[in-house]
């Protein structure tokens, strides 16, 4: 099955992108906070201005009543009141600076004087509010002709403290409304400008923060189009945040996925290539028997024996290829597992002494007590068996093999040495490749498929170690393994 066919097409997204949602959402959130803050500011400003207007009305009442306290009830006429309120001077500066004139000539003020019977005797600007008797100075908001006005009322007493009338001042709040409307307009303009700037800021911020997400999307889209693509998430600047960590994890996942795809392709290619010869041999013998060989007991026996031999070889080949595939995935499937290297190297040494009594085995064990590595026990045993089997196969003249184990810092080192044919530098560079045989004819005769060392290398590297070869023609070979020791808790 084609790898591209298993990747489903991503449905088209409808609606706003995450960038715009983030931009508009952040702008709306800050805008709401700003509106609430602005509302409190406007309310506080309005309250303060009204308080100031109330104080001015109260001050005006006191100024007017002070000027009129020399009158008596009989002289409480429009002419007398007007004469008392207006400055007795022709000097324009004195008129302008007169405190009473400053208060009663305001465009939004209406000053009225009532006698004790409630009759208005001095209108300036006309009447509007109803007459009310009061004992103390009062300033409150009332509705006049559909509008809110501040109305101040106070008794008018003469110098003998006799009640002679009442003073009423209306403040139509014209100045207040003008100032309030001007401030309100400024705030609305600032809110609109702020909303625009917040939207721009939110868009820029979301674009900056989501840039790694966009890079991830581009890589995923490219991988959907071509699973073999080498595209990876690139970082213009490595920011220490979760999105950078996510990008790194995605890159690791893509590397691992691509490695698995390549392993799948490699496995299929290896199977088709390596099984072609034994299948052809078995087919040839079967066709021979089908034609006339089954009537000849000798040919029948030879064909059956050859076919069985090839079948056993195919069985071993498939088993080794599966081992090789599993070896590529040890970091996923065999993460947990501890093995005592000292115990394992001694077990391999003992077993091979028993299996090959015609060989001389030596063990140089410098490990002082148990040495634990984070590795599946079967895998370490498989690695050492592969190296030991190779040492036995290629040591036909001098049958001597040495094992060694030592510790260097936080690593344990193992070595398997033989004194056989040795490997040339050209072959040593490729000895860990799949299906590579130094001597193909001899390897086939000895049952080798050229996968053992490749399996050993994959297993060692899968557990964070390394395997190295030292060899010389006619002097033998040394395979050295280095594995990290599991830290003590």
pLDDT digits (tens, 9 = 90+) for 158-195: 888 888 899 998 888 888 888 889 988 998 898 888 88
Residue 448's pLDDT band (cuts 50, 70, 90): low
Q: How far is CA 412 from CA 45, 136, 330, 364, 482, in A?
A: 79, 101, 19, 13, 6
Is residue 403, in this structure, part of any structural domain at all? Answer: yes
Mean pLDDT of the chain: 80
Please indicate, yes or no, whether residues 174 and 229 belong to a single structural domain of this protein: no
Q: How far is CA 77 from CA 288, 398, 412, 418, 421, in A?
A: 148, 145, 119, 137, 141
Please indicate, yes or no, whether residues 263 and 378 belong to a single structural domain of this protein: no
Please indicate, yes or no, whether residues 42 and 173 belong to a single structural domain of this protein: yes
Mean pLDDT in residue range 54-80: 82
Pick left, alpha or beta for residue 141 (phi over 0 → left; psi -120 to 50 → alpha; otherwise beta): beta
In whole angstroms, give the CA distance from residue 360 to residue 422: 18
Contact 127, 112 (CB under 8 A): yes
The domain boundary, picked from 273, 293, 316, lies at: 273
Q: What angle do CA 473, 476, 478 make, to 5 degrees?
A: 120
Is residue 56, in this structure, part of any structural domain at all? Answer: yes
Is residue 282, in this structure, part of any structural domain at all? Answer: no
Res. 481: pLDDT tops 50: yes
Q: Token pair of 329, please? A: 């995935």
Res. 489: pLDDT tops 70: no
Is residue 146, in this structure, part of any structural domain at all? Answer: yes
pLDDT of amino acid 95: 47
pLDDT of amino acid 480: 96
Please indicate, yes or no, whether residues 257 and 110 belong to a single structural domain of this protein: no
pLDDT of amino acid 378: 85
The domain boundary, picked from 181, 200, 227, lies at: 181
Q: Is the dihedral of CA 308, 314, 319, 323 positive or negative?
A: positive
The residue written with tokens 């080949």 in the block is 317
CATH of the domain at 470: 3.30.565.10
Res. 351: pLDDT tops 50: yes
Q: Which positions ≥6 away from 254 have C-beta within 8 Å?
A: 219, 223, 232
Please indicate, yes or no, whether residues 361 and 215 belong to a single structural domain of this protein: no
Please indicate, yes or no, whether residues 153 and 216 belong to a single structural domain of this protein: no
Please indicate, yes or no, whether residues 158 and 268 belong to a single structural domain of this protein: no
Please indicate, yes or no, whether residues 253 and 132 belong to a single structural domain of this protein: no
Is residue 91, in this structure, part of any structural domain at all? Answer: yes
Is residue 328, in this structure, part of any structural domain at all? Answer: no
pLDDT of amino acid 441: 43
Please indicate, yes or no, whether residues 175 and 229 belong to a single structural domain of this protein: no
At 311, phi and psi to the nearest 5?
A: -65, -40
Please indicate, yes or no, whether residues 360 and 478 belong to a single structural domain of this protein: yes
Res. 365: pLDDT tops 90: yes
Is residue 404 classed exposed, middle or buried when 0-12, 13-18 and 19+ CB atoms within 10 A define those classes? middle
Is residue 6, in this structure, part of any structural domain at all? Answer: no
For the segment 214-264, what is each residue's pLDDT rounded down to a tens digit?
A: 888 888 888 888 877 778 877 766 667 777 788 888 888 888 788 777 767
Mean pLDDT in residue range 20-35: 79
The domain boundary, picked from 131, 164, 181, lies at: 181
Strands 411-418 vs 466-472: parallel, antiparallel or unpaired: unpaired
Please indicate, yes or no, whether residues 466 and 342 belong to a single structural domain of this protein: yes
CATH of the domain at 136: 3.30.450.20
Res. 270: pLDDT tops 70: no
Domain extent, residue 37, equals: 21-181
pTM above 0.75, yes or no: no
The tally of domains found in the chain comes to 3
Please indicate, yes or no, whether residues 79 and 30 belong to a single structural domain of this protein: yes
For the segment 384-407, what is each residue's pLDDT rounded down to a tens digit?
A: 998 999 999 888 888 999 999 999
Is residue 322, in this structure, part of any structural domain at all? Answer: no
pLDDT of amino acid 346: 94
């Amino acid at each position: 099955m084609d790898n591209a066919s298993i990747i489903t097409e991503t449905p088209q997204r409808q609606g706003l992108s995450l960038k715009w949602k983030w931009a508009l959402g952040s702008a709306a959130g800050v805008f709401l906070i700003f509106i609430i803050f602005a509302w409190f500011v406007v309310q506080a400003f309005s309250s303060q201005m009204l308080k100031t207007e109330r104080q001015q009305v109260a001050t005006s009442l006191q100024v007017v009543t002070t000027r009129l306290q020399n009158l008596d009830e009989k002289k409480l006429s429009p002419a007398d009141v007007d004469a008392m309120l207006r400055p007795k001077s022709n000097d324009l500066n004195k008129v302008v600076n007169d405190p009473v004139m400053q208060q009663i000539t305001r465009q939004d003020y209406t000053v009225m004087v009532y006698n004790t019977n409630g009759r208005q005797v001095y209108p300036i600007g006309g009447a509007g509010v109803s007459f009310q008797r009061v004992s103390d100075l009062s300033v409150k908001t009332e509705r006049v002709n559909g509008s809110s006005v501040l109305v101040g009322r106070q008794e008018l007493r003469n110098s003998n403290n006799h009640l002679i009338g009442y003073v009423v001042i209306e403040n139509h709040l014209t100045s207040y409304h003008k100032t309030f409307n001007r401030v309100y307009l400024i705030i609305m303009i600032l809110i609109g400008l702020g909303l625009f700037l917040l939207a721009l800021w939110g868009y820029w911020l979301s674009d900056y923060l989501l840039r790694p997400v966009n890079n991830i999307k581009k890589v995923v889209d490219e991988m959907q189009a071509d699973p073999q693509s080498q595209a990876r998430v690139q970082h213009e600047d490595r920011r220490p945040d979760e999105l950078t960590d996510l990008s790194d994890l995605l890159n690791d996942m893509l590397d691992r996925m691509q490695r698995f795809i390549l392993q799948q392709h490699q496995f299929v290619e290896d199977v088709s290539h390596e099984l072609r010869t034994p299948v052809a041999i078995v087919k040839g013998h079967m066709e021979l028997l089908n034609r006339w060989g089954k009537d000849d007991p000798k040919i029948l026996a030879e064909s059956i024996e050859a076919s069985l031999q090839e079948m056993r070889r195919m069985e071993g080949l498939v088993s080794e290829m599966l081992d090789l595939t599993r070896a590529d995935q040890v970091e996923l499937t065999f993460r947990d597992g501890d093995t005592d290297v000292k115990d394992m190297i001694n077990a391999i040494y003992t077993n091979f002494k028993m299996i090959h009594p015609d060989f001389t085995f030596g063990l140089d064990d410098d490990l002082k007590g148990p040495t634990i590595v984070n590795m599946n026990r079967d895998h370490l045993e498989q690695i050492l068996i592969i190296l030991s089997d190779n040492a036995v196969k290629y040591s036909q003249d001098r049958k001597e093999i040495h094992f060694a184990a030592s510790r260097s810092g936080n690593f344990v080192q193992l070595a398997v040495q033989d004194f056989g044919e040795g490997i040339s530098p050209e072959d040593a560079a490729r000895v860990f490749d799949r299906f590579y045989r130094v001597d193909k004819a001899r390897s086939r005769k000895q049952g080798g498929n050229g996968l053992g060392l490749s399996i050993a290398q994959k297993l060692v590297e899968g557990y964070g170690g390394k395997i190295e070869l030292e060899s010389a023609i006619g002097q033998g070979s040394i395979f050295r393994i280095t594995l990290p020791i599991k830290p003590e808790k």
